[in-house]
Amino acid sequence: MDLAYAPEDLAFRDEVRTWIAENYDSDLREQMAQSKNGYLDKAGQVRWQKKLAARGWAAPDWPVEYGGPGFTPSQRYIFNMEMSLAGVPTSSPMGLKMVAPVIMAFGDEAQKAKHLPPILSSDVWWCQGYSEPGAGSDLASLKMSAVRDGDDYVLNGSKIWTTHAQWADWMFCLVRTEATGKAQNGISFLLVDMTTPGISIRPLPTLDGPPEGEQEINQVFFDNVRVPVSNRIGEENKGWTYAKYLLEFERGNAYAPGLRAALRKVRKIASAELDGSGAPLITDGDFRRKLADMEIRIDALDAQELRVFMGRSAGQSVGAVSSMLKCLGSETQQAISELALEAAGVYAAPFVEDTWAHLRGETNEPRPGPDYAGPIAPAYFNYRKTSIYAGSNEIQHNIMAKLILGL
Ligand SMILES: Cc1cc2nc3c(=O)[nH]c(=O)nc-3n(C[C@H](O)[C@H](O)[C@H](O)COP(=O)(O)OP(=O)(O)OC[C@H]3O[C@@H](n4cnc5c(N)ncnc54)[C@H](O)[C@@H]3O)c2cc1C
């Protein structure tokens, strides 16, 4: 594995840095400094993603024929690294990284023409309708029914934990079109317009206490919702194949660059805060050991991710290693959010309400604690999700046990 950058890669890195400096404006930076989860509100997300789209960088992984930038593998790595280190908003993945590759691979020409351009321009937003009450890890047991009636399917049931359903114009979802036989064989993959009569959305409050505009997950109900058969991807009852293809993209992200940026923030906090004896926390031996432990974990993960990235670029399949990276990445993410909580100490305790009252301009009272303290506790609670979603870590351990250890 050759880790040295070629001169043209370094030139590209500088180009990305310059673009970020010119486009990641103070408004976006201020909003991001208070974000608990790497996202802005929808208006902020759209503004950022449209800037990327105008530069041709909204979808670094897309093929050129659909509007991708045609990055080389090393450019793609550098681009992701620089964006993460700069702490820019995370692009909403449901359209760009999840449904788009499925439409490219299995959609018909009409579906491609209709859906891909507005995903790229961030004019149409998507949500993911896989999980149901009673069907999460065991996804194939999903029950939401789609019964054929003329040129439509009629949908009844509900989807749950649907991230940002309240922002979405469309949902890609898995439905049951055949109730007998092997569960995996009776599933179809549908594209659903969220304005269709019969769809209702119930917000689900989470531990991190989202203020309005920060609502993350929902339950979505379908009551006799008519969806044209032409909105089906591929063949009826073959949805499981497309669903699994999509999950490869959902789990394919690199963690290390974002973790480095998060650890850098913890270092800054620990430089500003004092330990029990009045010295800067960053000089405390015990705390320094914890920082070093995180640094080592990130270096190890980075090396593995780079190896996988090189392998993928050479056409190798990743296999169960992606499960290992998901576990290491999500556990380190949670551990760093815990360290931030420890570093901020009592300032993380005011929780988020006062901070948000400030941002909404509802109070003239001084804000409790330094600016960086506001999102620390919400982020700590929010990141509990990372070991649950995209296939829980227990399920990833099962995959590793089977495919790597042969158990
Ligand atoms: C913040 C957040 C956002 C999400 N967003 C979306 C979204 O946009 N769209 C969507 O479709 N879904 C979404 N999900 C759902 C997510 O995919 C599921 O939560 C996940 O698949 C786990 O399913 P479950 O919640 O039903 O838990 P269950 O499957 O009921 O699992 C409960 C516990 O049992 C463990 N477990 C289950 N089976 C096994 C086993 N065989 N061996 C060992 N342990 C096992 C699990 O690891 C877990 O700890 C989101 C979840 C979260 C937390």
Question: Which CATH number characterizes residue 131's domain?
Answer: 2.40.110.10
For the stretch 328-377, pLDDT in tens is 999 999 999 999 999 998 888 765 566 667 666 777 777 778 888 888 88
Specify the pLDDT at position 310.
79
- 267 with 229, same domain? no
- Domain endpoint, select from 91, 116, 149: 91
- 68 with 141, same domain? no
- 232 with 189, same domain? yes
- 176 with 132, same domain? yes
Residue 242 included in any domain: no
Specify the pLDDT at position 19.
98
Per-10-residue mean pLDDT of the chain, 407 residues long, equals 78 98 96 88 95 97 95 89 93 94 97 98 97 96 98 98 97 97 96 98 84 78 98 98 84 84 95 92 96 97 87 76 92 97 84 63 75 86 93 94 89
- 266 with 388, same domain? yes
Specify the pLDDT at position 350.
62
Alpha carbon nearest to ligand 1 atom 43, residue: 394
Query: Is 381 a pocket residue for ligand 1 (Cβ < 6 Å)?
Result: no
Residue 28 included in any domain: yes
**Which is the closest atom of ligand 1 to the Cα of 384?**
53
Residue 112 included in any domain: no
Instruction: Quote the ligand 1 centre to 380 CA distance (angstroms).
Output: 19
Residue 388 included in any domain: yes
Residue 313 included in any domain: yes
Query: Number of folded domains in the chain?
Result: 3
Residue 386 included in any domain: yes
- 152 with 276, same domain? no
- 216 with 266, same domain? no
Alpha carbon nearest to ligand 1 atom 37, residue: 137
- 373 with 273, same domain? yes
Query: Is 137 a pocket residue for ligand 1 (Cβ < 6 Å)?
Result: yes
Specify the pLDDT at position 284.
95
Instruction: Quote the ligand 1 centre to 32 CA distance (angstroms).
Output: 27
Q: In which domain, by residue range, is 68 found?
A: 7-91
Instruction: Quote the ligand 1 centre to 382 CA distance (angstroms).
Output: 15
- 270 with 381, same domain? yes
Specify the pLDDT at position 212.
52
Query: Is 171 a pocket residue for ligand 1 (Cβ < 6 Å)?
Result: no
Specify the pLDDT at position 373.
85
Residue 285: give its domain's CATH number.
Answer: 1.20.140.10
Specify the pLDDT at position 347.
82
- 378 with 344, same domain? yes
- 283 with 327, same domain? yes
Residue 1 included in any domain: no
- Domain endpoint, select from 205, 237, 269: 237
Alpha carbon nearest to ligand 1 atom 27, residue: 136
Residue 100 included in any domain: no
Reduce the secondary structure of the chain to three states and give it as a string. CCCCCCHHHHHHHHHHHHHHHHHCCHHHHHHHHCCCCCCCCHHHHHHHHHHHHHHCCCCCCCCHHHCCCCCCHHHHHHHHHHHHHHCCCCCCHHHHHHHHHHHHHHCCHHHHHHHHHHHHCCCCCEEEECCECCECCCHHHCCCEEEEECCEEEEEEEEECCCCHHHCCEEEEEEECCCCCCHHHHEEEEEEECCCCCEEEEEECCCCCCCCCCCCEEEEEEEEEEEEHHHEECCCCEHHHHHHHHHHHHCCCCCHHHHHHHHHHHHHHHHHCECCCCCEHHHCHHHHHHHHHHHHHHHHHHHHHHHHHHHHHCCCCCCCHHHHHHHHHHHHHHHHHHHHHHHHHHHHCCCCHHHHHHHCCCCCCCCCCCHHHCCHHHHHHHHHHHHCCCCCHHHHHHHHHHHCCCC
- 300 with 382, same domain? yes
